A and B are shown apart, each in its own frame.
Chain A
Amino acid sequence: DQQVKQNSPSLSVQEGRISILNCDYTNSMFDYFLWYKKYPAEGPTFLISISSIKDKNEDGRFTVFLNKSAKHLSLHIVPSQPGDSAVYFCAASAVQSSGTYKYIFGTGTRLKVLA
């Protein structure tokens, strides 16, 4: 049962345009969401996060939007650059009975920014 889903396995965007990566989740207990970027042969790199009490968080070229009623979040990259080409994972977390938070990752979207 995949609680965090990224339905687009790949996305190609022209340099300078907007990249929109989508993520859907099923567990209403998730209260914190993150986006990670992963290059080949490297570990994931934290990009941006959003708490469930917000609907938008911005950091430079990256903006994350959260629609709690739709259980949907998206990552916007504007303008897209060739160096943004990577696999992007969204992750969601909820506190466990032990008091520790556990992140569940989506399946990833491979973004290719064309020069």
Chain B
Amino acid sequence: DTEVTQTPKHLVMGMTNKKSLKCEQHMGHRAMYWYKQKAKKPPELMFVYSYEKLSINESVPSRFSPECPNSSLLNLHLHALQPEDSALYLCASSQEPGTDYGYTFGSGTRLTVV
């Protein structure tokens, strides 16, 4: 298995809803990442988990809450989002949290906040 699987592929949620994005990899990668990508913009890093511990939080608003239950899973819990949070949310993983390894990205979850 050489993939990063993200579910759901599409999500529409209201501003008062609570939802979660899920990311799964079975490559034994020890670093996992959440990126946010708006249309015609580069992916922007949100969170980095290294060996299941949060190592980077790019000053993301608390309405986004990451969770790494185990080395294969990464969740992003969403609560009270705003319409401007609508974007493609990409999960990625790498073998180690270092530069010698490229990332494997998932296909993303396209989130629309209404």
Contacts and interface: CB of A to CB of B under 8 A. Distances in A.
A107 B55 contact: no
Contact of B48 (A41, A51, A100): A100
Interface stretch (A14-22, A42-50, A68-76): A42-50
Contact of B99 (A4, A32, A45, A105): A32
Given A44-B90, A101-B99, A106-B42, A96 B56 contact: yes
A77 interface: no
B30 to A, nearest CB: 11
Interface string B72-114: 0000000000000000001010000111101111111000000
B98 A101 contact: yes
A103 B45 contact: yes
A104 B45 contact: yes
Given A42-B107, A99-B55, A100-B56, A89 B97 contact: no
Interface string A91-102: 001011011111
Contacts of A46: 102-104
A100 B94 CA distance: 12
Contacts of B48: 100, 102
Interface residues of A, number: 28
A49 B101 CA distance: 9
B43 interface: yes
B107 A41 contact: yes
Interface string A33-65: 010100001111110010100000000000000
Given A43-B4, A43-B90, A105 B43 contact: yes
15 contacts: A32-B99, A42-B107, A43-B90, A43-B105, A44-B103, A49-B102, A95-B99, A99-B50, A100-B31, A101-B97, A102-B56, A103-B45, A104-B45, A106-B42, A107-B42
Given A4-B42, A89-B42, A102-B56, 4 more contacts: A32-B99, A99-B55, A100-B31, A101-B99
